[in-house]
Amino acid sequence: MSRVIRLLLADDQDLVRGGLKALLALEADIEVVAEAGTADQLMEQVRSHRPDVALVDIEMPGSAAVADGIEAVGQITAERLGTRCLIVTTFGRPGYLRRAMNSGAYGFVVKDTPAEQLAQMVRKVAAGQRVVDPGLAADSLAGAVNPLTEREQQVLREAAGGAAVKSIAAALHLSAGTVRNHLSSAIGKTQAQNRHDAARIASQNGWI
């Protein structure tokens, strides 16, 4: 009998987690051992349960420590917790794919992937193989490279939520002038009208 793969499901929607759990529970060699609804919960559950594989949504609520699913994957990779992460998301954007793979994710698939195919991807990731939706891989190669620096991405994430310059500065431990400089640079790189437009463009491209 093959080894049972211990799986964690991380998604902020209970319905999505429930559906994935019901589908994957039909596989004899896959056992869901933990669930998480936020990026912080994902980190807690990985540290506690050390699952073999984690299915991770991108746009989960986070905190200053881990803003979203991709940042959590990066933290899991950095801490060498032994869990291989497979991004499963509604948002199949090339920029997200690049961010996910750069963070250490083992794969990237969209949520409408058939259950049988998803289960097979979980098995491949558990075995140390990397899996990427073919269509997304092609789009990623053809798409524009993220022009934003890491700090510009952080500033735009804060700006996307409507935060004022002083609030962004406090959250990121920067001066207000430095924040304005990063915002100005990001606006120029995205060819946006203002910081809110820059955040929108960056989000649409999966850069933040």
**Range list of β-strands (E), the chain:** 5-10, 30-36, 53-56, 84-89, 107-110, 131-132
User: Is the CB of residue 76 less than 8 Å from the CB of residue 43?
Assistant: yes
Q: What is the pLDDT of residues 138-175, one digit of tens each?
A: 455 445 567 889 899 999 999 988 889 999 999 999 99
User: Is the CB of residue 134 less than 8 Å from the CB of residue 109?
Assistant: no
DSSP assigned state of 93: -
Q: 47-51, 91-95, 110-114, 203-207 — which is least confidently predicted?
A: 91-95
SS3 124: helix
pLDDT of residue 36: 95
List the CATH code of the domain at 5-142.
3.40.50.2300
pLDDT of residue 29: 95
More confident residue, 59 or 169: 169
User: Beta strand pairing status for 30-36 and 5-10?
Assistant: parallel
Domain boundaries, the chain: 5-142, 150-204
pTM, entire model: 0.66
Fold category of 150-204 in CATH:
Arc Repressor Mutant, subunit A (1.10.10)
84 pLDDT above the threshold of 60: yes
d(CA 187, CA 48): 41
Q: 48-62, 70-84, 189-203 — which is least confidently predicted?
A: 189-203
d(CA 44, CA 206): 26
- Report, as an integer, the average pLDDT of 40-60: 94
- Report, as an integer, the average pLDDT of 47-59: 94
pLDDT of residue 1: 47
pLDDT of residue 85: 96
Tokens of 124: 């491949």
Q: What are phi and psi of 11, to 5 degrees?
A: -160, 140
d(CA 95, CA 74): 16
31 pLDDT above the threshold of 90: yes
Q: What is the pLDDT of residues 85-100, one digit of tens each?
A: 999 887 666 667 777 8
If you average pLDDT over each of 30-34, 130-134, 204-208, which comes out highest?
A: 30-34
More confident residue, 98 or 68: 68
More confident residue, 75 or 101: 75
pLDDT of residue 142: 45
Average pLDDT, the chain: 86
